[in-house]
Structure 1
Amino acid sequence: MATLAQARILGGIGSILVLLSVVPQAGIFLGLIGFILILVAVRSISDEVADRSIFNNALIAVILIFAGAIVGAAVVFAYLLRFIGGVLISPPPDPSGLIGPGIFSLFAAIFAALVLIWIFYIASAIFLRRSYRTIASRLNTGMFDTVALLYLIGAVLTIVLVGFVIIYISQILQVVAFFSIPERVSQSVRVQTG
């Protein structure tokens, strides 16, 4: 059984790895490992305070992020297949026919994919907020509440790009939040859950 000390280390290291996901080439791999470590840490916290909703909400948040990316990519991929198939079957008589409606349709498909990803991202942030708010109240670590709020605000504002900066700030604070986890659960928390 994992302890809060292990959750602190795994969550802190995982959060640092997520911050490093902006590094070219290795960043995606580091970010993925970071997400896994954070999930393991959240699972440990969930077990330690005997509240399954903490882990369940975090897991739903991660699933929604990946589902949003897959749905968005599928929309663009489906359009590209349709576009390429249309060009191969009946090529336009002149190059202007390819540029006009084809480019407009491509931008519409990309826009639709981005909106779908954005919606999934907001839904994910809501579930992450539920998980982190419960962690904040159960472990008396208010930084998790701050991280959750900033992450949600950032997710909503990603549509105007400033949200990415806010999310990055929340990721930095997430490192602090995990390293602020106490060694043990206080007796009052055990009484609340048990």
Structure 2
Amino acid sequence: MGIDVSGERNLGLWGSVLALLGGFVPYLRSILGLIGFVMVLMALKGISDKVGDDRPFRNYLFVFVSGVAVVVLILFLIFGSLSGLWRAEIHEETHWGAPGGSTSADYEMHVPLPIISGIVLLFILMVVVMAYFEIKTWEAMYEITGTREFGDAANWFKWGAVTSIVLVGLLLLFIARIFVILGFHSMPDELEEKGTTDFAIDSPIA
């Protein structure tokens, strides 16, 4: 008799769908993304507990922790530099056409280049670190379930992280999340008692 993971499979499937849709729904993207993430995390927790292998849950939890850590650093960089973040240049111009004259002031706001560069670099760092733990998560799921799509997702995350400095990286990460959905859809409802088996991750893009 195998290990029943049908509930975790459905939870992970709908969670990964919500996480993907969260990027396309205005005003609700953060809420949908968070709900989807929690659902996938719960699914991986259940699978990890049932097969006695905590790698999927542990690594996916690190995805969240690393993302929050980098976001906090970005916010600290922004709000901690408020005193020097914006520089207002005031240009006064006096108009003598009207009685007594009038003065107008134009304000220009500038963001220092080092601040912009720092935020961009931290964003890239966040993408790379999160992708690393995503790779570890779905490689483990491929070994545990034997579902090829999880292995493909790991490879797409790998190439997405490598090319994250250009826009094509974001497209590859999007494709990776589609393969996560396909992985949950294709994984069996029951797993072998052994928990893990040896699979070689083979993908056309590897």
Classify the TM-score, shorter chain.
Answer: 0.7 to 0.9
Q: 1:48·1:185 contact (CA, 8 Å) conserved in 2?
A: no
Q: 1:71·1:117 contact (CA, 8 Å) conserved in 2?
A: no
Q: Could you say which structure has the larger radius of gyration? A: 2
Q: How do residues 68-147 of structure 1 correspond to structure 2 at under 5 angstroms?
A: 68-83=70-85, 94=91, 103=110, 105=112, 107-147=113-153
Find the counterpart in structure 1 of residue 187 from structure 2. Answer: 181
Partner of residue 39 from structure 1, selected from 34, 41, 44: 41
Report the AA paired with residue 11 of structure 1. G
Are residues 1:12 and 2:13 paired? yes
Q: Gaps (5+ residues) in structure 2? A: 93-106, 199-206
Higher relative contact order (CA 8 A, sep 6+): 1
Residues in 2 aligned to 1:149 and 1:191: alpha-carbon distance in whole angstroms: 19
Percent identity over paired residues: 27
Partner of residue 27 from structure 1, selected from 10, 18, 29: 29
Q: 1:125·1:151 contact (CA, 8 Å) conserved in 2?
A: yes
Q: 1:3·1:44 contact (CA, 8 Å) conserved in 2?
A: no
1:51 partner SS: coil
Q: How do residues 164-179 of structure 1 correspond to structure 2 at under 5 angstroms?
A: 164-179=170-185
TM-score of the superposition, structure 1-length normalised? 0.82
Higher-helix-fraction structure: 1
Residues in 2 aligned to 1:169 and 1:191: alpha-carbon distance in whole angstroms: 26
Q: Gaps (5+ residues) in structure 1? A: none
1:23 partner SS: coil
State the 1:53 CA deviation: 2.4
Q: 1:113 to 1:4 in 2, by over 3 A?
A: same
Output one character per residue of 1:129-164: Cα deviation in whole Å (capped at 9) or x when no partner.
112111101111121111122123213323211111
Q: 1:11·1:41 contact (CA, 8 Å) conserved in 2?
A: yes
Report the AA paired with residue 45 of structure 1. I
Report the AA paired with residue 120 of structure 1. M
Residues in 1 aligned to 2:27 and 2:33: alpha-carbon distance in whole angstroms: 11
Q: 1:3 to 1:71 in 2, by over 3 A?
A: farther
Alpha-carbon RMSD across the aligned residues, in angstroms, is 2.5
Report the AA paired with residue 41 of structure 1. A
Q: 1:190 to 1:153 in 2, by over 3 A?
A: closer
Q: 2:153·2:180 contact (CA, 8 Å) conserved in 1?
A: yes
Residues in 2 aligned to 1:169 and 1:190: alpha-carbon distance in whole angstroms: 26
Q: 1:133·1:145 contact (CA, 8 Å) conserved in 2?
A: yes
TM-score of the superposition, structure 2-length normalised? 0.77
Output one character per residue of 1:13-67: Cα deviation in whole Å (capped at 9) or x when no partner.
0111011112111122111100110101111111121012221111111111122
